[in-house]
Each structure stands twice: as structure tokens, then as C-alpha cells.
Chain A
Amino acid sequence: MILEGKQRIWSEYQKDIPDDHWYYVRSCIRQNFFPASERMFTHIVKDVLGKDLYETPHHTTCGGIAYHCDTIPQETAMTIVARQFALMTEAGYENYCPSCITSFGNYAEILETWREYPELEARIREDLWKACRREFKKPRYLAHSSDLIFHWRGEIARLAKKRLMDVRTGQPLRIVEHIGCHYAKMFPSKGVGGAEYPYVLAGMVESWGGQVIDYPERRHCCGYGFRQYHVKANRGYSLSNTYKKFESMEPYHPDAIVTNCPGCPYFLDRWQYVIASQTGKTYGENGHGIPVLTYEELAGLVLGYDPWDLGLQLHQVAVEPLLDKMGVEYDPKAKYLGLNKEDLMRPELPTQIKCY
């Protein structure tokens, strides 16, 4: 691997990311899967970095899941998106930041479509007006929330309490970065670092002291694949794709996986349990899995927050080995206590993969 080659490509895919005044839209599913992630993001941006980040409870789904499951036509998705933009316009913002990768891709795709077919945009404006009497301006900047964390990765590194280092050996942690398919595969120029060698997560890992792992199936989908998972008959295929990725990264012995998509961490995390249950195979050390974190969770750990406050107890794969390596202090007894120290109850622990 020639690092200069990658750096040259990274330098070609720079993206303008304004430093302040963002309109933030949440993901449909992330708060269920990784409850602290979006909370952590708003906290870092607003409270830690002191930036202006605006949210409104009126926003809805972007229609991306339905669109990618082939259940609604693109025009419908466009009208939904037009309403989101209208909410942003009404709030007086022009920098749009979705938390979801599929949303990000959906917005990028729709904006590009409108650029190519202005008559379609005009029709959607008309439809939106007819539907809810709203008007919108297109966002001036579109960035995914991971783009923002990438943008501020240096500041986070300066404020860091922990680094991505094995405190026992002093070696950098080996981190697999997994990018959601809809981030840059459709429009390489919309992603930091492009589509082939995306830099958005790699940049964070590097700044926070870790070492990025590049493995053969790096580009491959996490396995979710929308209808592949949602239709049960296809679910084995979804699982097989995840399996392929793990088989490919296994020889590198990664310490953790970091992702920037709602579905990816979920499937990379939960399918490890299914693979272990079906084949008996685990990919971490001593029968553990490989911990899978969102970039917000990783940022939270780096900034020194309590792992249980970050919701890491809700991961299927035990994060404790990673916490131990990073030197994060945690109370094993407090793992299943909620924010208000309410007992969340202990889950039944699987037998084929080591959990606590």
C-alpha cells in the first residue's frame, strides 16, 4: 500500500464544509439502534464546540428507506425532501446536515436530479405547494453529520481525554472504517475522500491516534441491503455479505469497527451474533466479537464520556475489550443501569459469542 497515493486521491476529494450554522435532521432508526449517538452529536456540536445547530421536531423521514425498498416512487421521495428543505428555509438555515447516510444519499441524488432536470424540480415545487403550501430554497451546503465531525476532528483531538491507543502496549488501535454505501458510491465528489478510498472516517481515526485498516472487502456493503434484509427469504443473503466482510478483515485482527451509517453498525454488530450462533465463529479475541461503534460513540469515548452513558450496553458485541484497551474506566455493575440509574434488566447472554 502506497500511502502517498491515497493521500493524493484524498486531496482531490475535498469538500467545502462551513464551520457553523447547521440545520440538523435525525435518522428514522438510529435513536432506536444507538440511542446516544445523535444525542452525542448535538452535544459535541452545540455544547463542546459551541456551534449553532438547529433542529425541528416537525421533520419526517426523507423517504429513503421506502424508496430503496421499492415501495414509493422517487417523485414521492422528492416531495417529502422538498418539505424538509422548506422547514430548513423557514428556519432561516441553508446548511443541511442529515444524520442518516441513506438520507444524505437521497438528498444528494435528488439535488443532482433536479440539476439535470429542472422541470422536475419545478413540478415538485408545485406539488409541495399544493400539498402543504410550503416553498423552499435548496440547501447551499449539504454535509453528512460525519462530515461535520471529520471537519472538527482536530478540535475533538485537542479536547480528547483518551486516544485510540492500546494503553497497555502503546500501539495504535487497528480500526476498520466502514462507510455507508449511499455516502459516496453514487456521487464520489460528494464524499470526503471520494468513493474508492473515503477519508471521512479514516481522517477521524488518524487524528484520534488510531490506525486504519484497509482490507480487500473494504468497499463491500455491510449486508443490510434494504430489501435483502427486510424480505426474510433474502435474509441469508444479507447475512452472507456481512460474513464475507468479516472473513476478509479477520486476518488483520481489528480492535474495532467504526461506521457512519444507521444500518451498517446495526448489522455488523448483530450479525456477528448470528454468525457465531450458526457457525460458532467469532472474530474478536478470546471468543469476543469485534466491537462496532458509530463515529459519535467513538468521539464520545475519545472525549471521555462514560460508555454506559453512550449506550454501549445496547450493542450486541461486548465493547469491554475495546474499553480495556483504550483505558476507559467503567463500572461493569452499572452496565445495565439507565440514564437515571433505573434497572434496564440484564439481557439473556448468547453462548457462542462472549458477552457480559
Chain B
Amino acid sequence: MHDNIVIIGGGIAGMEAAKALLALGHTPILIESAPTLGGHVGRWHKLFPDLTSARELVARLRSEIVGANIFLGTQVISMNRLADGYSLKLSNGIVINASALLISTGFKLFEADRKEEYGYGVYDRVITNADLEDWFSGADDARIPQQPQTVGFVHCVGSRDLKACNGQCSKVCCATAIKQAIEIKERFPFARVYCFYMDLRLFGKKYEDFYVNAQRDYAVQFIRGRVSEVSETIDGHLQVKAEDTLSGKPLKMQLDLLVLMAGVVRNTAVQELTSMAGLETDSDGFLRSRDNEYAVVESGQPGIFYAGACTGPKTVPETIAEARSAALSIHAYLKTL
């Protein structure tokens, strides 16, 4: 059993960590509850800011971890603390004794229908960022009209919103909205595209360029004001209302398609697992790192490490960096045993 490393969660964090651990001479065990690897990124079409293919990233990672033991469609059903590690029972009946655990269980997209006023699931032409990515990737979506004339993006759906029980910024939605707005404009050059934002948080490398591009080259319009409510008109359009806070006036308009930028919230599906492992939750609802400044990948429990969005919203490069960092931390930790 010595040196068994179990990675729980096969998104890009888990995959990258597995790859790094393989390179360090370990043979990690990767457990993923879904039937495929890749997590949220695997479902995404393109990544900001360079519009690289998300699928290619996942496929590459997949090809680089063939040496790992991978269990798909598998959950951890129980977990016991041992003297020098953990004993895990999986849903397929296998029991693993592990010296180190890496939690890379990621996040959950906010369920947009909980913002009832936006009418996701009630109005015909309201979709989420994830739905749009699916459509970009080729899936059919009857909610998206043939030739939309006007498309709106609502930022911060379920983020920075105490009424949605998530006061945190989801970090990736502003850039995602801009990315999707540009992609929409590329598909429908004559559509008017509006982004309704509270604040634009474009902190990352080249994000600001991305923003200027959207304005200058794609004429995407940014309206500072949160959409208050959405209704359906008699001809099936959407009527949205917001305050145009820069002019201080109420604003309404009709849209052919509304995209809700569902935020990043903690993954409640792994609540049982984390409580079995005795992991604490931070005030933002995500898992608590040993230290939020310099030990983000370490948990309060010996031998349990974190990577990726299980500790809070992260961009792809941040997640990859954390996964590598966690792999190194695990490697160092195993040497101390």
C-alpha cells in the first residue's frame, strides 16, 4: 500500500496532477464519478483569452496519463483514517489504502433556474453559458434562434449575490461572457450583443485586450446594470429590464436570446466525502486550505491535498499550476513517511 496516491476528481486538475505524479515516478489512482474524464473543461468549447480548444487540452492530458490507474463512473463510498494514511472503499467494491489523497473535485455551476426572475427553464430563449458552449461544440439547442438579432449576456448569475447564497466572485465569467459574445458575433455578425455587468473583473493576462477587442472589433455593448427581471413577450421575445447605472435611468429591451453566466459554486456532491475526511469548509463555502496565502494545496488533514476549483473559483492556468504544485507537495510528503 505504501505510496498509493488517490486522486479524487478527474477534471483538468486531477489529470494534470496525475501526469505530474507519473513524471515523478508514482502511479496515481484517479477516481472520477462521471463516465469520462475532463470535468467542466471537457464540456467547454474554447478557452479564453486565446480561444484554444478545450477538448484538445483534455485529449492531450488524457493521452499523457495512460500510465495511471483510472476508475471512471466510480465514487468513494466510505473512507477511514489509518495510522499512516486512508482506507477508501469505492462504489465498484474495491478498497484502496492510500498514503496520500488529492481532492480535485472541482466546482458546480450555479443552477441558473434558482434565479427565478431570469426565467431559465421557464422562457423559451433563456440559456446558460454551459448550454451555449454545448451548442458551440455542435449540440442542437432549440432555444437558440436561427438568426438572432439581439443577444444579451447576464454576468454574475449566482455570483456575488447573497440572495443566491454565494457572495463570491466566480472569477471566470467576465472573460467567458466576452469570449462567448465574440463567438456569437462571429457566428451572427449582424446581431447586436449586449453584456449586462455589475463590475467587469478582467484581471488576467490579455483579458483587457480581449475586452477592447470585443468592444472595438465586435461592437459588443457593455451595459453596467444587473438585469432585474426577464419576461416573455407575446411573440416569444424576451423583455429584460435593468438599470443603466451610468445614465441613471431604467432600461428595457427585447432580446432574441439571453445567456446567463452561471457562476462557480462549491461542489455539494462531494459534501459527504469531505466530511468523512474531516475536511473543513472556508467562509466562502469552498474547502478550506491550510493557508490561503502559501499553502493553498494543503488541507488541514495530513496527507490530504487540494488542487483546482475545490478551494474556490479558478481559471484553467491557475488550476493547472495548482495541480503541479499539489503533485510536488505530495511527492515531498511521501518522502517524510
How would residues 296 to 319 of chain A score, 1 for a CB under 8 Å from any chain B CB and 0 otherwise?
A: 000000000000000000000000
Which residue of A has the minimal Cβ distance to B116? A196
**Contact residues in B for A2 (Cβ distance below 8 Å):** 121-124
Q: Interface centre among B122, B123, B124, B233, by most A CB within 10 Å? A: B122
Q: Which residues of B contact A251 (CB under 8 A)?
A: 234
Contacts from A to B (Cβ < 8 Å): 1-2, 4-6, 8-9, 194-197, 214-219, 251-252
Closest-CB distance, A194 to chain B (whole angstroms): 7
Q: B5 → chain A, closest Cβ, in Å?
A: 42
Q: Which residue from B116, B124, B234 sits with its C-beta under 8 Å from A215?
A: B234
CA distance A40 to B311 in the complex (A): 59
Chain A nearest CB: distance from B264 CB in Å? Answer: 23
The answer to whether A216 and B117 have CB atoms under 8 Å apart is no
**Contact partner, A218, options B113, B123, B231, B234, Cβ 8 Å:** B231
Query: Are B229 and A219 neighbours in the complex by a CB distance under 8 Å?
Result: yes
- In the complex the two chains form, is A216's CB within 8 Å of B232's CB? yes
A251–B231 Cα distance when bound, in Å, is: 15
Q: What distance in Å separates the Cβ of B23 from its nearest Cβ neighbour in chain A?
A: 48
Q: Is the CB of A197 within 8 A of B233?
A: no
Which chain A residue lies CB-closest to B231?
A216
What are 13 A-B pairs at a CB distance below 8 A? A1-B124, A5-B119, A5-B123, A6-B122, A8-B121, A9-B113, A9-B116, A196-B229, A214-B231, A215-B231, A215-B233, A217-B231, A219-B231
Q: Which residues of A contact B176 (CB under 8 A)?
A: none
- B267 at the A/B interface (Cβ < 8 Å)? no
Min Cβ gap B226→A in Å is: 16
- In the bound complex, what is the Cα–Cα distance between A291 and B206 (angstroms)? 59
Minimum Cβ distance to chain B for residue A240 (Å): 13
* Contacts A2-B122, A5-B121, A5-B122 given; does A194 touch B116 at CB 8 Å: yes
For window 109-142 of B, CB contacts with A under 8 Å fall at: 113, 116-117, 119-124
User: In the assembly, what is the distance between CA of A214 and CA of B231, in Å?
Assistant: 9
Cα–Cα, bound, A215→B237 (Å): 11
Q: Does B33 contact A (CB under 8 A)?
A: no
Neighbouring B residues of A218 by C-beta, 8 Å: 231
Most chain A CB inside 10 Å of its own CB: which residue of B116, B123, B229: B116
- Compute how far the CA of A218 lies from the CA of B233 in the bound complex, rounded to whole angstroms: 11
Among residues of B, the one whose C-beta sits closest to the C-beta of A214 is B232
Residues of A within 8 A of B87 (CB): none
* A residues near B123, Cβ cutoff 8 Å: 1-2, 5
Does B74 have its Cβ within 8 Å of any Cβ on chain A? no
Distance A194 CA – B113 CA, assembled complex (angstroms): 14
B117–chain A nearest beta-carbon distance, Å? 5
For B115, give the chain A residue with the smallest CB separation.
Answer: A196
- Docked-complex contact A216 and B121, CB < 8 angstroms: no
| Complex contacts, A252 vs chain B, CB 8 Å | 234
Q: Are A196 and B234 in contact (CB under 8 A)?
A: no
Assembled-state Cα–Cα distance A216/B229 (Å): 10
Instruction: Return B160 CB to nearest CB of chain A, in Å.
Output: 20
Q: Are A1 and B116 in contact (CB under 8 A)?
A: no
Cβ contacts under 8 Å, A4 to chain B: 121
CB distance from B271 to the nearest CB of A (A): 21
- Return the chain A residue nearest B234 by Cβ: A251
CA distance A217 to B239 in the complex (A): 9
**How far is it, in angstroms, between the C-alpha of A2 and the C-alpha of B124 when the chains are bound?**
6
What A residues does B116 contact at CB under 8 A? 9, 194-197
Q: What 3 pairs across the A-B complex have the smallest Cβ distances?
A: A5-B121, A5-B122, A196-B116
Q: In the complex, what residue of chain A is closest to B237 when comparing beta carbons?
A: A216
Chain A proximity of B145: nearest CB distance (Å): 16
A4 to B231 CA separation, bound complex (whole angstroms) = 16
Which residues of B have CB within 8 Å of A217? 231
Please name the residue on chain B nearest to A218 by beta carbon.
B231
Q: B121 and A196: CB pair below 8 A?
A: no
Could you give, for residues 231-251 of chain B, a 1 whenever the CB lies within 8 Å of some chain A CB and a 0 otherwise?
Answer: 111100001000000000000
User: Contact check: which of A5, A8, A196 meets B117 at CB < 8 Å?
Assistant: A196
Q: Which single residue of chain B is at the shortest CB-CB distance from A9?
A: B116
Q: Are B113 and A5 in contact (CB under 8 A)?
A: yes
Cα–Cα distance between A217 and B119 once the two chains are bound (Å): 14
Closest to B143 in A: A2
Excluding A1-B124, A216-B233, 20 further A-B contacts by CB distance (< 8 Å) are A2-B122, A5-B113, A5-B119, A5-B120, A5-B121, A5-B123, A8-B113, A9-B116, A9-B122, A195-B116, A196-B116, A196-B229, A197-B116, A215-B234, A216-B232, A216-B239, A217-B231, A218-B231, A219-B229, A251-B234
Q: Provide the bound-state CA to CA distance between A236 and B219, in Å.
A: 39
A216 to B237, CA, bound (A): 10
Complex alpha-carbon distance, A252 and B239, angstroms: 16
Chain B positions within 8 Å of A5 at CB level? 113, 119-123
- Nearest Cβ on chain A to B103's Cβ, whole angstroms: 32
Cα–Cα distance between A196 and B115 once the two chains are bound (Å): 10
CA distance in complex: A4, B124 (Å) = 12
Residues of A within 8 A of B119 (CB): 5, 196
A1 touches B234 (CB 8 A): no
Hey, which chain A residues are within 8 Å of B117, CB to CB? 196
**B263, chain A: closest CB distance, angstroms:** 19
Residue of A nearest to B236 (CB): A1
Q: How far is the CB of B254 from chain A (nearest CB, A)?
A: 9
A9 to B117, CA, bound (A): 11
Instruction: Give the distance in Å from the alpha carbon of A2 to the alpha carbon of B234 in the complex.
Output: 14
Q: Which residues of A contact B234 (CB under 8 A)?
A: 215, 251-252
Given known pairs A196-B117, A197-B116, the reply for A1 and B233 (CB within 8 Å) is: no
A9: chain B residues at CB < 8 Å are 113, 116, 122
With A194-B116, A214-B232 known as contacts, the answer to whether A1 contacts B239 (CB < 8 A) is: no
Chain A residues near B120: list those with CB within 8 A: 5
Closest to B233 in A: A216
A216 to B116, CA, bound (A): 15
Within 8 Å CB of B233, what residues of A?
A: 215-216
- Closest Cβ neighbor of B254 among chain A residues: A216
Which residues from chain A contact B122 at a C-beta distance below 8 Å? 1-2, 5-6, 9, 197
Beta-carbon nearest neighbor of B123 in chain A? A1
